Amino acid sequence: MQIIKDKEIVEDNWLHLDDEAELAAGNITVSLARWQEQHETLANHESGLGLRLTGADPLEEVVPDLDSFSLIVLDFPAFTDGRCYSFARLLRDRFGYKGEIRAQGDILHDQLFYMTQCGINSFEMANPNRIESALAGFDDFTESYQTTVLKPAPLYRRNR
């Protein structure tokens, strides 16, 4: 499957493991429940390990484990569920997470600008057929007023 990563279309090399599925070789992501249950085994996984979070998960509890993951997948079950925008910002701004943060779920062209500002850098689009045209979404706006992950000072301090 193709995804967008760092504003480019790339082939995805991660496998999202269901909680029931057998461990597999290669890069895998697991749910928080599975991580909590099997973290000792998972910590020895040879390839990349990623964590999937939903907006209902207790983000603060996974902070001590962040170094174990090279990918964190944030779930957007519906376009309108904005909880994980806050998760992304906290992961970047407060908890200093430097790995890949990926948005998964109902992801459209129209959220890319906001998501990027919040520190998300890869995207599994809801409609992979239109992935090409979605790239334009990153450039919807050239500026933003706020302090964001990408722009650590507000517009007035940078430019005015």
* Residues at the interface with other proteins (CB under 8 A): 55, 79-83, 85-86, 89, 93-94, 108-110, 113-118, 130, 136, 140-148, 152, 154-157, 159-160
Q: What's the min distance (Å) between Cβ of 42 and other proteins?
A: 26
User: Looking at residue 22, what DSSP letter applies?
Assistant: P
Q: What's the min distance (Å) between Cβ of 15 and other proteins?
A: 28
Q: What's the min distance (Å) between Cβ of 85 and other proteins?
A: 5
Q: What's the min distance (Å) between Cβ of 71 and other proteins?
A: 21
Q: What's the min distance (Å) between Cβ of 2 and other proteins?
A: 18
Q: Comparing C-alpha atoms, which of 61, 68, 62, 104 is closest to residue 84?
A: 104
- The smaller minimum CB distance to other proteins, of residues 44 and 159, is found at 159
- The smaller minimum CB distance to other proteins, of residues 14 and 102, is found at 102
- The smaller minimum CB distance to other proteins, of residues 23 and 155, is found at 155
- The smaller minimum CB distance to other proteins, of residues 35 and 87, is found at 87
Q: Which residue has the tokens 């279309």?
A: 9
Distance CA 14, CA 25 (A): 10
Distance CA 60, CA 86 (A): 12
- The smaller minimum CB distance to other proteins, of residues 42 and 117, is found at 117
Do residues 125 and 107 make contact, with C-beta atoms less than 8 angstroms apart?
yes
Distance CA 146, CA 29 (A): 32
Which alpha helices (DSSP H) does 83-129 contain, by range? 83-89, 112-117
